[in-house]
Structure 1
Amino acid sequence: MAKKASLFSYLRAGLYYLGFYPLTIVYASLCLIASPMLNFRQRFAMVTQINYFYIFWLKVCCGVGVNIQGRENLPKEGAYVVVANHQSEWETLFLQTLVRPQVTVLKKELLKIPFFGWALGLLDPIAIDRSQRRGALKQLLTEGKKRLEDDIPVIIFPQGTRVPVGKMGKFNKGGAMLALSAGVPVVPMIHDAGVYWPGKSFAKFPGTVQVHVGEPIPVEGRTVDEIHADMVAWLEEHMKSLEIA
C-alpha cells in the first residue's frame, strides 16, 4: 500500500538532496579527472565509494535503513548474473555496495544525466537502447558475456522498468539467456525499497528495506526456459512474502 507523504517527509527528503547533489557534483568531477589513470576495478572502487555515503545519509536524513538476508548466497569467486526486481532509485545506489565489482544493464538515457550519469558511464555499464528491442538483446548477450568472461558479475532488472509496489510486472528472459551463454549461475534477489523510496518520488519514508538474496540457480545442462522458470518462481514467491506484489 502506498504511503501518504507528509510535510515532514518532504523536509527530510529535501535535507537528503541538499547533501546528495553538491557532493555528487564534486565527487563525480574528481572521478572523471582520475579515471584515465585507473583500470576498471580501480575505477569501480573509486566511483562507488560515494554510494556508502548515499546510503548512510539516507538513514540519517530519512530514517531508511537496510536489512540483508542471504548475503552468504553471493558466490565468493567467479562471475554470475544477478536478477533483481526494479522498484526504486534506491537499488541503483545500494546494489553497487553489495556486489563488487559489477556492471549493470541500464537504459542509455541515464548516462546523459550531468555528473551522476557521467560518473556512471565510467563503470562500463551495458547501456541499452530500449527502442531497439532486437538489437538490445544482442548487445546484452555480446557485452554481458564479455564482462562475465572477465569475472565481473552482471546485474539485470528483468522487469525492464520500475514496477510500483503491489504490481508484479513481466520478467524477460535476458538474464537466463546471458547466464546460459556464459555458463555462470543466476543469483535471484528481491527488495521492498519501493515502500520507503517510491520510484520517481521526492518524498522518502522511514523504515527498513528488506533485501533477500537467493541461492545460485545452476545453468549446466539446462534450457533457457528451465532457468527462467526457476528464477521467476523464486522472485514471485519472495516478492509476495514481502507483500510487495
Structure 2
Amino acid sequence: MTAEQVPPTESASVLAYIRASLFYAVFYPVMFVYSLLCVCVGWALPFRARFRLITVINFFCMFWLRLTCGVKVEIEGRENLPKNGAYVVVANHSSEWETFFLQTLIRPQCTVLKQELLRIPGFGWALGMLKPIALDRSKRRGALKQLITQGRERLEEGINIVIFPQGTRLPVGQLGRFNKGGAMLAAANNVPLVPLVHDAGLYWPGKSFVKRSGTVKVIIGKPVELDEPSVDALHDPSVEWMEARMRALRVVD
C-alpha cells in the first residue's frame, strides 16, 4: 500500500473530522425524513417507479459525500454491464460506500443482505420496499434455500441481483473467503455473472467516521457466460478476476 493509500483511520486530520461531521449532520436527517416519505407513498407505486423514488437518496449521498469529503468516483468497464436481461453482480465488500453507490449503477436491483438491516427505523423500512433478499444468517440451510427461491423470482421479474460473496464487510488488507451464492444464482437461472471490484475501503473504511478525499476506482469485469453453466465454472474465474483486480488496486496484499 502506498503512502497515498493510507486509510483515513491512520491519517485523519482535524479538517477530515469536520468534513465528516458535516456529511453526517445533513445526510442522516435527510435520509431518515426522505425514507419515511418513501414508505408513505412507495407502496402505491410499481416496483421500478418505487426503486427510482427510493434511490434518489443514494444519488444525494454520492453528491453530498463528494461535496463535503471530496470522495469522487471513476468507473472502468461500464460497457460490460449487460444491456438486455437480468444478471447477477458479485462485488467485494469493504465499506458502507458500495451499499449506496451500487444502487445508482445497477438499476433496477435487489441486494442480498442481512435481515437485521430492515429493522433500522426509516432507512430499513424503505429498503424493505426494494425487494431485498434479506437472509437470517443464523439459519444457514434456510438462508440458502431462500437465496435460490427468491433469487429466481427476482431474476424472472427482470430485477438484477447484487451479492457480496465475502459475506461481511472486510477491512483493507483482508481478502476473506468468497462464497458461491452468486454463482449458484447465475447457474441455476442461466444468467450472466458480472464481477465488480472497488477500492472504497481506502476512502470510507467500514465503521469509520472519517472519510479520506480521493477517487474511488470501480472496475466492472466482462460477464461470465456459458452455454451450460455450472457453479464452479462461473465461480472460479470470477473470483480469480476479482482477486487479481483487488491486488492491482492494492486493497489486499
Same fold (TM over 0.5): yes
- In structure 2, runs of 5+ residues without a counterpart are 1-5
In structure 2, distance between residues paired with 1:223 and 1:39: 34
2:96 match: 89
Q: 1:129 aligns with which of 136, 151, 157?
A: 136
- Identify unmatched segments of 5+ residues in structure 1: none
The alpha carbon displacement at 1:10 in A equals 1.2
Task: Give yes or no for contact 2:16–2:210 (8 Å, CA) kept in 1.
Answer: yes
1:74 Cα deviation after fit? 0.4
Q: Distance in 2 between matches of 1:168 and 1:92?
A: 18
* Partner residue, 2:3: none
SS of 2:43's equivalent in the other structure is helix
C-alpha distance in 2, partners of 1:6/1:116? 30
Aligned to 1:184: 191
Question: How far does residue 7 in structure 1 lie from its aligned partner after superposition?
Answer: 1.9
2:68 aligned residue: 61
Query: Scaled by the length of structure 1, what TM-score is found?
Result: 0.98
Q: Could you tell me whether the CA contact under 8 Å between 2:166 and 2:179 is conserved in 1?
A: yes
- Between the aligned partners of 1:44 and 1:189, the Cα distance in structure 2 is 22
Query: What is residue 165 of structure 1 aligned with on the other side?
Result: 172
Are 1:212 and 2:207 counterparts?
Answer: no
User: Aligned residue pairs: how many?
Assistant: 245
| 1:1-245 matches, cutoff 5 A | 1-3=6-8, 4=10, 5-245=12-252
Give how far 1:8 is off.
Answer: 1.6
CA displacement, residues 154-204 of structure 1 (integer Å, 9 cap, x when unaligned) = 000000000111111100011101101011010000000000000011110
Counterpart of 2:152 in structure 1: which amino acid? K
Shift of 1:2: 3.2
> What is the percentage of aligned positions where both structures have the same residue?
60
Aligned partner letter, 1:2 = P
CA distance in 2, matches of 1:139, 1:219: 25
Q: CA–CA distance in 2 between the matches of 1:142 and 1:95?
A: 23
Could you give the per-residue CA deviations for residues 104-150 of structure 1, whole angstroms, max 9, x where no partner exists? 00001011111111111110100001111111111100000110011
SS of residue paired to 1:37? coil
Q: 2:217 aligns to what SS in structure 1? A: strand
Report if the CA contact (8 A) 1:89-1:199 is conserved. Answer: yes
Q: Distance in 2 between matches of 1:222 and 1:44?
A: 30
Letter paired with 1:212: I
SS at match of 2:59: helix
More deviation in 112-121 or 101-110? 112-121
Q: What TM-score, normalized to structure 2?
A: 0.95
Distance 1:43 1:198 in 2: 30
- DSSP 3-state at the match of 2:159: coil
